[in-house]
A and B are shown apart, each in its own frame.
Chain A
Amino acid sequence: MTHIDPEALVASLRRLQKDRAATGIVHHLERIVQVVDRLFGYSGAGLMFAEEDRTLRYLFATDERGRSLERAQAVTGQGPCVAAYVGDTAVTTVDVRDDRRWPALRELLHPEVRGVAGVPIRLGGVPVGTLNVYQDAPHEWQESDTQALHAYAHVIEQVLVASMEADEKAELADQLQYALDYRVVIERAIGYLMGKHDLTASQAFTGLRKQARDSRRKVSELAAELLGEQGQRNVANPDHVV
C-alpha cells in the first residue's frame, strides 16, 4: 500500500504527455547526472555502465575533466569507479592522482581531477554501473557524502526500473548501448572541432553540448552529423578527423 493516488498520478502524467516527443532514457539519465554536482556542490559528475562482459565503459560526464576520469578508467580498467562496480560498494579517494591503488591513472587524468567518489548503480540488486563525482582539489570524503550518493544512485535506479518495467528492456539496453557506442563519435567530433576552430577539448565539448541543448537534440546525433559533413571516410577513421 503506497501513499500515492494512482488515478491522480495518471491524470497528471497524461497532461505531461501532451505534445511531447519521447527523448529516451539516456537523455534523462544525462540530465539527472547534471543535477548531481549542482546539488552537492561537486566539481563534476559522470555515469559509467557495464557491457555484457562486465567491462565498465563511460556513458557521459558533466565536463571535460570528468570525461578524462571516466576515459582513463575505461582504458586502464582500474580506478575508484571500477572498484566501486566490481566491489559493489562505495569507493573514495582523497586524491586519485596520488593514490597507489591505481598508478596508471595519473598520466591520463586531467590535472584538476583530484578527490573522487564512486557508488554502484544496481538493478535487481546487481551492479550495472557507477555514479561518479569528483572534486578539483584533494577531498576528504565523509560517510554522509557516500550516503547521499547512494541515495542519489537509488533515484537513478528507480528511473531505470521504471523504464525496464514499461516492457522496454530491450529498448533500454539498445539505448544504453547506443550511447556507449556513440562516445567514440563524440570524441571524434570534439577532435574535429578542436582542429577546425583551435579550441581546447573542454571548449569543444562545452560548445557541442550547448548546441545540442539549444537545438534540443542529443549530443551524439549532433556529433554524428558534424562528422558526416566531412564524409564517410573520416567518420570511419578518427585519425582523419582531428
Chain B
Amino acid sequence: MASDASSLLENILTGMADLFGVDGAALMLLDGQDRLRAIGATDDDGVLLESAQESVGDGPAIESAASGGLVAIPDLHAARPMGFPHVAVHAPPVRAVLSVPLIEDRELIGVLDFYARDGRAWDRTEAEAGSRLGELMVIVLQVLAEIRTDRAPSGQL
C-alpha cells in the first residue's frame, strides 16, 4: 500500500489517466501565495509539462486557471493561439492537453491536466469526463487536506 501522500496522489493520478484513456495526468495547485505550482504527474513527461508551465508562466493550465474553464489543446506544438510552442519546447513528448480547473466552493484551487503523446481533438464527451474527474480530484484533495497533519512536514501522512 502507498505509505505517503505523494504515493497516494500519484496512484490516484494514474488511476484517473487509466479511467480517461490518456497517457498521463498532472496536477498544479495554488499555494499559500495564490501561485500555481507544479505538484506532480504520473510520469516524467507530465512533470516536464507542469514545470514548463510554472517557469514560463503560460500554457493550457495557466489559461484554464485564468479563465476558470476547460482548455482543450489538440497539439501543444501548434502555433499560437492553437498551441503553446514555447511550453512544448520544454516538454517535447506531450502533444494533446486537456486542462480542467479544480473548483472548491466556487474558488479555484488548481488545475488537473490530462495529456497524450499523440495529437488528438478532445470531443465534448471527453471534456465532460474531464470535468467529472476534476470533481473527483477536488474530493481527493479535500481528504488529503483533512488527514494531513503538521507532524509530518515532508509529505508523510
Chain A residues in the interface with B (C-beta under 8 A): 2-17, 20, 22-23, 25, 28, 31-32, 35, 38-39, 124, 148, 151-152, 154-155, 158-159, 161-163, 165-166, 168
Given contacts A17-B145, A154-B11, A161-B1, 20 further A-B contacts (CB under 8 A): A4-B5, A4-B7, A4-B155, A5-B38, A6-B4, A10-B5, A11-B31, A13-B5, A35-B139, A151-B19, A152-B19, A158-B2, A158-B11, A159-B12, A162-B143, A162-B144, A163-B147, A166-B147, A166-B149, A168-B147
User: When the two chains form their complex, are residues B136 and A6 in contact, meaning their CB atoms are under 8 A apart?
Assistant: no
Using CB atoms and an 8 Å cutoff, list the residues of chain B in contact with chain A: 1-12, 15-16, 18-19, 29-32, 37-44, 46-47, 104, 109-110, 129, 132-133, 135-136, 139-149, 153-155, 157
Find out whether the CB atom of A162 lies under 8 angstroms from the CB atom of B157.
yes
- Whether B39 pairs with A12 at a CB distance below 8 angstroms is yes
Cβ of A229 to closest chain B Cβ, rounded Å: 30
Q: How far is the CB of A66 from chain B (nearest CB, A)?
A: 18
Q: How close is B86's CB to chain A, nearest CB, in angstroms?
A: 23
A11 touches B6 (CB 8 A): no
Cα-based distance from A6 to B29 in the complex (angstroms): 12
Q: How far is the CB of A21 from chain B (nearest CB, A)?
A: 9
List 13 interface pairs A-B (beta carbons < 8 Å), by A numbering. A2-B10, A2-B40, A5-B6, A5-B39, A5-B40, A6-B5, A12-B37, A12-B39, A16-B104, A39-B132, A159-B12, A159-B143, A165-B1
Check if B3 sits within 8 Å of A165, measured CB to CB.
yes
Taken together as a complex, chains A and B put the C-alpha atoms of A185 and B104 apart, in Å, by 30
CA of A211 to CA of B145, assembled, Å: 26
- Give the residues in chain B near A4, CB-CB below 8 Å: 5-7, 9-10, 39-41, 155
A6 near B157 with CB under 8 A, answer no
In the bound assembly, the distance between CA atoms of A32 and B142 in angstroms comes to 12
CB neighbours (8 Å) of A154 from chain B are 11, 15
Which residues of A lie under 8 Å from residue B39 when comparing CB positions?
4-5, 8-9, 12
Neighbouring A residues of B40 by C-beta, 8 Å = 2-5, 8-9
Q: Given the known A-B contacts A158-B11, A165-B157, are A13 and B145 also in contact in the complex, defined by CB atoms under 8 Å?
A: yes
Q: Is the CB of B7 within 8 A of A2?
A: yes
B5–A28 contact, CB under 8 A?
no
The interface residues of chain B, by DSSP majority, are classed as: helix
A14 in contact with B32 (CB, 8 Å): yes
Residues of B within 8 A of A15 (CB): 29-32, 109
Interchain CB contact under 8 A, B31 and A155: no
A28 touches B142 (CB 8 A): yes
Q: Does B133 contact A39, Cβ atoms closer than 8 Å?
A: yes
Query: Given the interface contacts A35-B139, A155-B15, does A3 sit within 8 Å of B147 by beta carbon?
Result: no
Q: How far is the CA of A147 from the CA of B139 in the complex (A)?
A: 22
Residues of A within 8 A of B149 (CB): 166
Counting chain B CB atoms within 10 Å of each CB, the highest count among A4, A14, A38, A39 belongs to A4
Cβ-defined contact, A8 with B8, below 8 A: no
Residues of A contacting B18 in the complex (Cβ-Cβ under 8 angstroms): 151
Q: Give the complex CA separation of A39 and B15 in angstroms.
A: 14
Q: A8 and B31 in contact (CB under 8 A), knowing A3-B46, A154-B15?
A: yes
With contacts A13-B141, A28-B143, A168-B147 taken as known, whether A8 is within 8 angstroms of B15 at the C-beta atoms is no
The answer to whether A13 and B148 touch across the interface, beta carbons within 8 angstroms, is: yes
- The smallest beta-carbon distance between B126 and chain A, in angstroms, is 12
A148 cross-chain contacts in B, Cβ below 8 A: 19
Q: Chain B residue with minimal CB distance to A22?
A: B146
A17 touches B148 (CB 8 A): yes
